[in-house]
A and B are shown apart, each in its own frame.
Chain A
Amino acid sequence: METAIIDESPDKPSARKPFLPNGVLGMICFVAMEIMFFAALISAYMIVKSGMLFWPPPDQPRLPVVATAVNSLILLASGWLLFKAERSFRREENGKGAYRLFQFSITLGTLFVLIQGFEWVRLIGYGVTMTSSTYGSFFYLIIGAHGSHAVAALIVMALMLKKMKMKQLSAVDFWCSQIFWYFVVGVWPILYILVYLN
């Protein structure tokens, strides 16, 4: 580390060894803003919920608590596999192990999104819609916001996977996509507890 600072050639565009690489710092800023976004959704939900006598509304169907708990485990497993993939990538860049783990992680993430979509279709069939009550509105708003983030993150990770296969993936790019996916995985248990378990 220290030798890197001294050895820097004067014509390099960045004159210092940054504490965090550019991409990572930018991604952290972005995720911080996303955390505030979800915090606002959650607090809006809590305020409206606290103003109601009965929650969830008696005439609305219940949410699938158990099926979603299993689905949550799938998502958490996906996050854990990504962590293992990172460890493997760090030991041996472009190794076979990292690629398999990363692929498996993305598959589990996709499975999570598909199961969520399946549950949504069933819920709409039971009569929970965006306009049926504030219960339904908040459910689709919050879980939908999470779902769209998951889809965006999966697309990014699929691109990274392709790069990894072509042995072009840089450690910083991999790191950035991980931060985003850890955010998607990490915010989920909070949403599950607040929205499903009540």
Chain B
Amino acid sequence: MTMAESTAATESSHEVHHHKEPDFWSKYVFSTDHKMIGMQYMFTGIVMALIGGYMAYVFRMQLAYPGEHVPGFGTVTPLAYNSLITNHGAIMIFWVAMPILIAALGNFLIPLMIGCDDMVFPRINRLSYQIFLISVIVLISSFFVPGGGFGGAWTAYPPLSAQSQYNLTPFGAPLWLLAVALEFVAFLLGGINFITTTMNARAKGMKMYDIPIMVWMIVIASLLFMASVGPLIAGAVMLLFDQTLGTTFYNPENGGDPVLWQHLFWFFGHPEVYVVLLPAMGAVAEVICVFSRKKLFAYKTILYTTFATGILSFFVWAHHQFIAGIDPRMAHVFTVTTVIISIPIAEMLFCYIATLFGGSIELRTPMLFALAFLAEFLIGGVTGIYLGSSGMDIYFHDTYFVLAHFHYTFFPIAIIGFFTSIYYWFPKMFGRMMNETWGKIHFWGTIIPFNCIFLPLFVLGMAGQHRRIYNFKNFPDLATPDLHNLRIFATWSAVVMLVFQIPFMINFMVSIFRGKKAGKNPWKANTLEWTAPSPPPHGNFKELPVVYRPPYEYSVPGREKDYWPQNEPN
């Protein structure tokens, strides 16, 4: 089986070292191998995604059938509802999107794609995952303290989050903040590793423009994360003091300023969107090139555009606060910057579409997910322009329109982006192929219900449905049958989508052990990870590769094969 194979591979490639085979604990739990740490992040992320999905199921049922018994949960109290939506948001962004897209893919792929044997700080890397695991444990234990998990919304605006007489979760709130802070320390350590490894440990001959877009995206995302996380940590410390020591940083009664938290949170929060978006964009770029057998259109433009997006993303945060009492003149400035940031992103999407143009497209499962990413993210981006203009936002703020908008950005990023990469890199991770037919069933069973969930929510938002309502039956204007039927439709679509994740899980688990053997390079791709054995042994390469050309030389005229791996001299 896979394990035995990888053991054999390890032994053969390490005959010189004569090291003894590590036991279970040092191999799977306290490993410093970047691939194992990537797997740990990925499986933790999948478990958290299941928890977050379950939470979404419970509160969607409550919204469709208010006050009724929810199968698998019971009756949803208002307190439980608050806690469920808060933790759904926090889990999906901080414990699913970030560990899977940045930490799992970054750890697994960066050393393989730049052709080195491991991260430059392997022990810091292990520490990063251990701190992340502690943050998961703290978060989950916060659901079981008196008062339940934190119920002040994932953005944690004070005074709701700062004072327990408002949020009614005196123990859940500080624990939640602590978990978030630990999680950021973990990603900080990971990010330092990603940047240093990519800058210092690339294979011989790999120049800046020979680095695959995926690696660039993770590095730029790490840079954005590091530049933006400091203010949030500062804000979180102040909030924690407000909660526990009784300081008044955010309490206007004693000279504090509640909007201050919103500035600190969104100064981090908006770049954070790009922190998770960029790795997904990178994975899509790799997949699109491989499955249309074409060179990536405008590699340098995409790279510069990404830098531009990254810089711009630090100047748009106040578009989350147009009705929070900020100066209207400031709102104008932030409207302009927000609309400007759609230009580089649109440019990247155009480059991807131009890559597809005229290619010999092969619709394998990863490619389907990559194309779906482009289409769905486009809807998220376009609806963002409405919300970014301060005039429109006065009407749309805190409605389901906003909710549908950011699910149309985060779902493609976190879920479709994850499926794109898992279907594409699965052969490298486990040495076997996933089943194509079940992959396609999973694809359609995910994408169609996804649109059925969130398109109705746009309509509900435009009808004025506010985000933070526990029971719509209490609002006669919103409880009309027309609107309520849309809610029920969205809820059942969510259930269907969750059910269609079962074939994926089965396909995933079965393929790890029984899938067709993949070989080194099943997709005929150019980047360096496909020159390592699948799954790569400890140390990755038998001999460290040397790079001779950029990563996207597909269908070069005059060559017999339609691909040209980076490490082949000619």
Contact = CB atoms under 8 A, between A and B. Distances in A.
Interface of A: 10, 13-16, 18-22, 25-26, 29-30, 32-41, 44, 47-48, 51-52, 57, 130-131, 133-134, 137-138, 141, 145
Given A40-B234, A134-B249, 16 more contacts: A14-B200, A15-B116, A15-B204, A15-B546, A16-B202, A18-B200, A29-B192, A32-B227, A37-B234, A41-B234, A44-B238, A48-B255, A130-B245, A137-B249, A141-B237, A141-B249
Interface of B: 115-117, 120-121, 124, 188, 191-193, 195-196, 199-204, 226-235, 237-238, 241, 245-249, 254-257, 260, 263-264, 267, 544, 546
Contact of A36 (B195, B204, B230): B230
25 contacts: A14-B116, A18-B199, A19-B199, A21-B200, A22-B196, A26-B121, A26-B196, A29-B196, A30-B188, A36-B227, A36-B228, A37-B230, A37-B231, A40-B232, A40-B267, A44-B234, A44-B235, A48-B255, A51-B257, A130-B241, A130-B245, A133-B254, A134-B247, A141-B237, A141-B238
Contact of A13 (B116, B234, B257): B116
A19 B226 CA distance: 21
Given A15-B203, A41-B234, A47 B257 contact: yes
A39 B226 contact: no
B195 A25 contact: yes
Contacts of A37: 230-231, 233-234
Contacts of A145: 237
Given A16-B200, A33-B229, A134 B116 contact: no
Contacts of A51: 255, 257
B230 A131 contact: no
Nearest to A42: B234
Contacts of A13: 116-117, 201, 544
B120 A44 contact: no
Nearest to B184: A33
Nearest to A57: B255
A15 B254 CA distance: 59
A131 B246 contact: yes
Given A15-B116, A36-B230, A130-B247, A26 B256 contact: no
A58 to B, nearest CB: 13
B204 A29 contact: no
A137 B260 CA distance: 15
Nearest to B227: A36
A131 B247 contact: yes
Contacts of B188: 30, 33
B256 A36 contact: no
A26 B192 contact: yes
A19 B208 CA distance: 13
Nearest to A30: B192
